[in-house]
Structure 1
Amino acid sequence: MSDEQPALKRRVLDREGEERHEAIYRAVSDAIVEQRLKPGARLREDALAEVFGISRTGIRKILQRLALEQLVTLTPRRGASVTRPTAEEAKDVFDARQLVECGLMAQVARRMQSHQAEELRAMAKRERQALRNGEQSVAIRLSADFHVRLAQLSGNATLAEFVERLCSRSSLILAVYGHRGHLGCESHDHDDLINYLEEGKTERATAFMSRHLKAIEASLSMVEEEESVPDLREIFAS
């Protein structure tokens, strides 16, 4: 065996390990955003390690990454739990979304192409269908995906990444304080916004986005719930 072969094998194993950790990170992140893991739910390292078949050290790194994105809260001697946003944090998130998403509308309108408008309409249609089917958590995820895609169409990758984080936090806020059966906005809101953007009506699109976000925020009901202990095996069953 040449000297290069062990090094190559290590690189392959390292890459596979990184891919595995990325997949687990995405699985936990999706479970939080889709509310299969509820805000306040405890995330025990040993239980997650057993479910995913990796070390507690690996799980700890994933939880730390989620904590940086404010989806998970790490508390000394208590461990990790899904973040439960406060009313003040909810206001901060929607204030930030007003500044960023409304500010991006002019760029999106300038760059919007017909096939992108159709892509957004298809996303809005899936969101409406999920609400009609009573799939609240799926509808919340699809709504977040819509807003993230809009931001990506602005061409500003840095702000689009920031919007993605804000939308993930908004999903938590809706999970805690939202009302069952709707997302705080009319089901046709996204279609109306797409029309304004496709027609290049920048001012209308910006004003509409502002009203849209304010309507979501105004629909929230600040009522606290008890902490829960999730069944991790059931949540992450393949």
Structure 2
Amino acid sequence: MIQYDAIYLKIRDAIVTQQLVPGVRLPEDKLAERFKVSRTAIRKVLQQLAIERFITIQPNKGAEVRTPSATEAQEVFESRILIETGLIPAIAKHWQPHHAEKLRKVIEQEDRAKDENDFAAAIRYTALFHIELAKVANNDTLTQFVEQLAFRSSLIIAVFGTKHSVGCDCGSHIELISLLDNGEVNAAKTWMEHHLEIIQNSLVFDKDNKAVDFDTLFH
């Protein structure tokens, strides 16, 4: 029997890689049958995905992949630019070599995912980098905001993004690490703002939905 975490990851990654596109229904019975688990187990997975805003669950309608609007996407990135750029001075103030080392390990995983054309993993590690970076500022409230926005951005990029959204065009995170290592606070703020703006401008809002065969998808 497939464990809860494995089912969660399979469905989430299918959403992130656009194999499950916005508006696609996620019927409990079909998913339970496919994964050979109870509908209660599937319901638990879907509830977790709803909490993380990957899907929506409506009474008498069931679950479907969430459809962020273009306006929401723009607002999320505008919010990230304001908060994450504003956090740079605090990050620089608390910056230590062990922070750089930890973030470099995340970057290595991110770069490996890009090299392997693993779009889902690249999005995941990109979000993780920004969350871990925000933690350096030692402000739990703002870190929670960044975490929420990063998760929402992951879905937005999965829905509206392209390889340019996580590729070289938006700059490598290692560049930001170098700026922080050298204490170049203003340059780091400029880098972060430009980085997020490039991702925001890479989004495409005219993608079409398609039918899904769950047996083929979750083989």
Task: Give the TM-score taking structure 2 as reference length.
Answer: 0.82
Number of the residue aligned with 1:140: 123
User: Residue 144 of structure 1 aligns to which amino acid in structure 2?
Assistant: A
Whether the aligned pair in 1 keeps the contact of 2:171 and 2:195 (CA below 8 Å) is: no
Task: Tell me the amino acid that sits aligned with residue 190 of structure 1.
Answer: H
Q: Any unmatched runs of 5+ in structure 2? A: none
Structure having the higher Rg: 1
Offset, 1:187: 6.3
Question: Is the alpha carbon distance of 1:136 and 1:200 closer, same or farther for their aligned partners in structure 2, counting shifts above 3 Å?
Answer: same
Instruction: State, as a whole percentage, how many aligned pairs show the same letter.
Output: 43
Q: Is the 8 A contact 2:170 2:196 kept in 1?
A: no
For 1:41-56, list aligned pairs within 5 A. Answer: 41-52=24-35, 54-56=37-39
Cα RMSD for the two superposed structures:
2.8
Distance 1:62 1:47 in 2: 14
Offset, 1:25 = 4.7
Question: Structure 1 residues 66, 129: CA separation in 2 closer, same or farther (over 3 Å shift)?
Answer: closer
Question: Is the CA contact (8 Å cut-off) linking 1:104 and 1:154 kept in structure 2?
Answer: yes
Q: Which residue of 2 aligns with 1:193?
A: 176
The letter of the residue matching 1:141 is R
Tell me the equivalent position of 2:146: 163
Aligned-pair CA distance for 1:193: 0.9
TM-score (norm 1): 0.76
**Which region of structure 1 is more displaced relative to structure 2, 34-43 or 217-226?**
34-43
In 2, are the aligned partners of 1:178 and 1:184 still within 8 Å (CA)? no
Structure 1 residue runs without a partner (length 5+): 1-19
CA contact (8 A) 1:136 1:181 kept: no
Change (3 A) 1:216 1:185: farther
Q: What residue in structure 2 maps to residue 4 of structure 1?
A: none
Aligned length in residues: 217
CA–CA distance in structure 2, aligned partners of residues 230 and 198 of structure 1:
49
Q: Secondary structure at the match of 2:79?
A: helix
2:86 aligns to what? 103
Residues 188 and 119 (structure 1), Cα distance of their counterparts in 2 relative to 1, 3 Å cut: farther
